[in-house]
Structure 1
Amino acid sequence: MFNIGFLWLALSIGSEITGTSMIKKTNGFRNPAPSVLVISAYCICYFALTKAMGYIPVGIAYSLWCGFGIVGVTIVSMILYKQKPDLPAIFSMGLIISGGIIMNMFSQM
């Protein structure tokens, strides 16, 4: 059965990744365009997360939001800022993704 909460959660995660990834470009919020993008992305992020938690248990929604946000920001930072995760970082992200999948599939929360 389809749960619309996961669409809200996907929007929340995507906007959180956008906002977090652009913080570096704000130059301490002195650069207006990226600053507006960051603030807007976080507003959308928390609005959508609030909506998602109306359909998904808080523990599951928050763990997926955190986990996939971490992985997403890492991937975007590799593209935008040419940052390269080392082996422990890659291993840790694999654990985060695995934990999110396991919690979502098997948790009875």
Structure 2
Amino acid sequence: MFNFGFLWLALSIGSEITGTSMIKKTHGFSKPGPSLLVIGAYALCYFALTRAMSTIPVGVAYSLWCGFGIVGVTVCSMILYRQKPDLPAIIAMLLIISGGIVMNMFSGT
């Protein structure tokens, strides 16, 4: 049976990436449009995360949320702000992704 918690988790991760990536565009929350987007994205993020945690163990959900959020924000910062991670950062993100895959495939929790 399909666990819809992972859809909630994906929505949570996506909205967290959106909110975090847009913080720089708020200019200290002085621009209303980007500021409302950040606030709305974080509200959706935490709502979806609570829904995900109703069916996914807290440790699994939170670690995937953190890990894929880090990678997603880094990718968005490369696109939006032309920031380039160095080699150690790229290696660390590959380890994060690998950890998420291993956790999903082999964890019994």
The answer to whether the superposition gives a TM-score over 0.5 is: yes
Q: CA deviation at 1:106?
A: 1.0
With the length of structure 2 as denominator, give the TM-score of the two structures: 0.98
Residue 29 of structure 2 aligns with which residue? 29
Q: CA deviation at 1:2?
A: 1.4
Residue 5 of structure 1 aligns with which residue? 5
Residue 15 of structure 1 aligns with which residue? 15
Unmatched 5+ stretches in structure 2: none
Q: Which amino acid aligns with 1:44?
A: L
Q: Which amino acid aligns with 2:108?
A: Q
Residue 87 of structure 2 aligns with which residue? 87
The whole-number CA distance in structure 2 between the counterparts of 1:39 and 1:78 is: 22
Q: CA deviation at 1:21?
A: 0.1
The whole-number CA distance in structure 2 between the counterparts of 1:41 and 1:79 is: 19
Identity, in percent, stands at 80
The whole-number CA distance in structure 2 between the counterparts of 1:101 and 1:55 is: 18
The whole-number CA distance in structure 2 between the counterparts of 1:30 and 1:93 is: 32
With the length of structure 1 as denominator, give the TM-score of the two structures: 0.98
Q: CA deviation at 1:103?
A: 1.1
Residue 96 of structure 2 aligns with which residue? 96
